Structure 1
């Protein structure tokens, strides 16, 4: 167990318990083609309603034009650390099918695909951090995202670097105790707010 392993009420797979979202990335690390394709394949094989696969991903490696455009769309707080990641991936959902009819749950399905990419990163010994702090309109304009598609999140992927490399405020977040809402306040049965009658 690493110091960042989640303290769970029941055993879960180490891939889930050990996954966390750092902000300190190794700015010297580069992502090889084999690793990159592995991440993309993990996302590609996610489940979706009617197998519609409403997700699209804008993928930039550090230093290339796509990376820089995605980085520019991030809020300053996220730019302050995400610039050191090896990869920035913008997850985009197709909201309507070709005839204009709304897709069934495109955000949900795109979230599943993104989660699979994140878990595959961890399986490869990398780390990933998902962000909602970005300017969707700026991203849409700079990377030519067409109408009917909505940018949902940006994921930074890379190799972990020491927390000490971060500014003090970010360092505090990096080393803070990992927490989640208790099971009894999250999972209900019978009626809303009634805890599920299970014991770990």
Structure 2
């Protein structure tokens, strides 16, 4: 079974940018090839230039390449079936939101802004031929213990990033999820009011 023979483009109800309709979140990552450092840098640069409230840029990332102790620590913090596949990704990125500024003032929009940064990272990576899968199933207290993490930075998620792999390396259950049709609720259900 190969994802290259499976149509993964979203069937949108109205036209969107091709890169957006083509972007998807695989679980099958190529487990041997190192990350292309230029493409990784571009993805992180896209995140850096995403919008944020008052330009506070309340996101931080810990970037861990496969084969390093840091990658193993992030992989060990994953929960559930994420542990079955995510460690194959060339890079695991722990994502943090700055919940308060240096003076202790709250930043209630930090998680929203982090989400925008990760979305920019995801689209840039896909544009460059890499794939991203975001995970919320993670032991956040273990991520908070990673080097360089200050108390004001709340661990939110982990991002697997790398080249697309062979789905046959996954368990049967995950293979089925890998090739299942992409679905979303309708636009009418998403927009609850419009005037």
- 1:193 aligns with none
CA drift of 1:73 comes to: 0.5
Is 1:22 the counterpart of 2:26 in the alignment? yes
Q: TM-score, normalised by structure 1?
A: 0.91
Structure number with bigger Rg: 1
CA RMSD of superposed structures (Å): 1.5
Consecutive unaligned residues of structure 1, counting only runs of 5 or more, are: 190-195
Q: Secondary structure at the match of 1:153?
A: strand
- 1:167 aligns with 171
Q: Which of 5, 8, 12 is the matching residue for 2:9?
A: 5
- 2:73 aligns with 69
CA drift of 1:76 comes to: 3.9
Runs of 4+ in 1 over 6 A off after TM superposition: none
Q: Secondary structure at the match of 1:156?
A: strand
Is 1:150 the counterpart of 2:157 in the alignment? no
Equivalent pairs counted in the alignment come to 191
CA drift of 1:32 comes to: 2.5
- 1:127 aligns with 131
**Per-residue deviation, residues 179-198 of structure 1 (Å, max 9, x unmatched):** 00011111132xxxxxx48x
* Aligned counterparts of 1:64 and 1:164: Cα–Cα separation in 2: 25
CA drift of 1:163 comes to: 1.6
* Aligned counterparts of 2:109 and 2:175: Cα–Cα separation in 1: 36
- 2:121 aligns with 117
Is 1:90 the counterpart of 2:91 in the alignment? no
Q: TM-score, normalised by structure 2?
A: 0.93
Q: Which of 171, 177, 192 is the matching residue for 1:188?
A: 192
Structure showing greater relative contact order (alpha-carbon pairs closer than 8 Å, 6 or more residues apart): 2
Contact 1:69 1:143 (C-alpha < 8 Å) held by counterparts: no
